[in-house]
Amino acid sequence: MSQIELPIEGMTCASCAMRVEKRLNKLDGVEASVNYATERASVSYAGEVEPETLLAAVEAAGYHATLPPKTDANESTADEPAPASETDALRQRLLVSAALSLPVLVLSMIPALQFDNWQWLAWNLTTPVVLWAGWPFHRAAWQVARHGSASMDTLISLGTLTAYVAAIVALFFGGAGEVGMTMSFDPVPSRASGFDEIYFEVAAVVTTFLLAGRFFEARAKRRAGAALEALLALGAKDVAVLGADGEERRVPVEELAVGDRFVVRPGEKIATDGVVESGRSAVDQALLTGESVPVEKAPGDPVTGATVNVGGRLVVTATKVGGDTALAQIAALVTRAQSGKAEVQRLADRVSAVIVPIVIVISLGTLAGWLLAGEGASFAFTAAVAVLIIACPCALGLATPTALLVGTGRGAQLGLLIKGPEVLESTRRIDTVVLDKTGTVTTGRMALVDVPLAAGEDRAQVLRLAGAVEEASEHPVARAIAGAAREAGALPPVEGFASHAGLGVQGVVDGHAVVVGRPRLLAEE
């Protein structure tokens, strides 16, 4: 079975995702899972199925899909910014809609502010809100209607357009357009009211609120994507490659190939996964293990890309590059976790897929029921529109996938890798947490706790001499010793400083030969 991730365009609700998923799963040899929050379809398909067939199935459902771009394995997407066009467009529509809807709402709800012909101003203010700001809803509703389907956008479009058209009818053909018309606020529609009242505030305010929900949804997805990009950005950007002649040349990390030899100096990130060829040093692997204590590396030891060399100079031979590295696999794990579905999300999707036509039928039944009961057309219409608007289950289809998306993305940003949405969902049953790494619950910064002394030695003097030598080292243990020494006062300069990778440091301070390190180094000196 082959695996492919298809970006899907045009989905606006969970029922859209269910529709695409059903269409793909009807193909022989295809298993698909469509996630509305990530706007992606994770598809497994047999060898005889062509990717173009998958695209055609998505198009037949009323949406658009594209094949993922073919990129070289060495290329990273960490520098690609998250698409902001959707968020920016929604923000613009929301701000304009809110600015125009507020005066319509105030005029409609407060009779004291209703001056002569105020209703005509309300019409002019509402028109751009419903037709321009609400255009994404109408366009999506029309696209699914062309394929004989309905979505949550269908409810939104029907409700807002019906209220808008009914208000125009009342304005031109009823009594609502007369000079001096006023409309009082009544939380319960009057059964005696006819087409002498307008509902522009309903169309405008509902459109504004739903645009706000769509905007916050898009912003949440964008931030979750930014968290994944931050994870990818942890890798090195360039690397010092050693040529056959031993000369170093600085190249982008994307140009690194398996078998290349590259240099990692103290303080630099290791460019990619590899094996130490020469040199000794300590490597900070907190990215992978959570442990703040660096691990000593010697020739023949494996090293991981994006970890930090905190000791001596290393020459490393690359064994994995691009998408094969540990960091890339971590990013892929997060992506798969965001694309998967928890059981609660599958339930929400199933409900969302059937609730739209049910709501439309109930709305029509409400309209017919009140008319048959002898109530006025205006009252019956108001009740029917209320069913369309209030029953729109946007939160039902949106809350679960967005929460999972943001949760996995934020976890990756904090160094917490979640293998899948079902794992995140199962955390509600956790009653005990066992940690096997001290770095998981510590600050990641070492601190000096005690200074055991030999007989006759002064603590302040020993700490002052050791701190002066360690001041020149980048090792986390050295930084802890030097930091504690600095708190007691200024440190003297060190002469003849030498660092022995994996063993310790030495130098001369105030005429004293000072050696700080492992017992092996002390024995040699």
Secondary structure letter of residue 178 according to DSSP? S
pLDDT at 226: 65
Residue 352 pLDDT grade (very low, low, confident, very high; cuts 50, 70, 90): low
Rounded to 10°, the helix 118-128/200-232 angle is: 30
Nearest 5°: phi and psi at 284? -80, 110
Looking at residue 34, what is its pLDDT? Answer: 84
Q: Which of 11-25, 83-97, 113-127, 280-294 has the highest mean pLDDT?
A: 113-127
* 327 falls within a domain: yes
Q: Within this chain, do residues 394 and 362 fall inside the same structural domain, yes or no?
A: yes
DSSP-derived secondary structure for 429-496: G--------GGGSS-S----------TT--HHHHHHHHHHHHTT---HHHHHHHHHHHHTSPPPP-EE
Quote the domain boundaries for residue 507.
459-523
- In order of 73, 75, 237, 318, 332, the CA distances from 324 in angstroms are 8, 11, 17, 11, 10
pLDDT at 76: 41
pLDDT tens digits for range 436-484:
766 667 776 788 988 888 888 888 889 999 999 988 887 778 888 998 9
**SS3 call for 139:** helix
Query: How many angstroms separate the Cα of 88 from the Cα of each of 84, 126, 433?
Result: 6, 22, 41
Question: Please, what is the Cα angle at 458 between 454 and 463, to 5 degrees?
Answer: 95
88-102 mean pLDDT: 92
Q: Cite the active site residues.
A: 436
Q: Are 450 and 486 in contact (CB under 8 A)?
A: no
pLDDT score of 263: 92
The predicted model gives 274-280 an average pLDDT of 91
Q: Is 89 contained in some domain?
A: yes
% of the chain surpassing 90 pLDDT: 14
- Return the SS3 of 246: coil
What angle, rounded to 10 degrees, do the helices at 152-173 and 135-145 form?
110
Tens of pLDDT, residues 198-246: 888 888 998 998 888 778 777 766 766 666 666 667 778 889 998 888 8
pLDDT attached to residue 437: 63
Q: Tell me if 434 is assigned to some domain.
A: no
- Asked if 220 and 351 sit in the same domain, the reply is yes
We report the CATH number of the domain holding residue 27 as: 3.30.70.100
Q: What percent of the chain has pLDDT over 70?
A: 81
* Helix (H), strand (E) at residue 239: strand 238-242
The confidence score (pLDDT) of residue 185 equals 63
Amino acid, single-letter form, for residue 268: E
261-264 β-sheet, strand order: 248-252, 238-242, 261-264, 314-318, 274-278, 302-303
Q: What's the angle, vertex CA 466, arms to CA 518 and CA 452, rounded to 5?
A: 70
- Is residue 91 located within the same domain as residue 203? yes
Do 331 and 347 reside in the same domain of the chain? Answer: no
The answer to whether position 423 is within a domain reads no
Higher pLDDT, 157 or 291: 157
More confident residue, 424 or 248: 248
173 and 262, same domain (yes or no): no
Q: Which of 333, 328, 327 is nearest to 421 (CA)?
A: 333
- The total number of residues shown for the chain amounts to 525
* Residue 79 located in a structural domain: no
Mean pLDDT of the residues in the chain: 80
- 181 in the same domain as 131: yes
CATH number for the domain including 332? 2.70.150.10
Residue 446 lies in a domain: no
Residues 6+ away with beta carbon under 8 Å from 218? 86, 87, 90
Number of domains in the chain: 4
Q: What is the pLDDT of residues 390-442, one digit of tens each?
A: 775 556 555 666 677 777 777 766 767 676 667 777 888 889 988 776 666 77
Stretch among 9-23, 249-263, 338-352 having the lowest mean pLDDT? 338-352
Based on the fold, state whether residues 381 and 480 are members of the same structural domain.
Answer: no
pLDDT for 72 beyond 50: no
Tell me the pairing of strands 314-318 and 261-264.
Answer: antiparallel
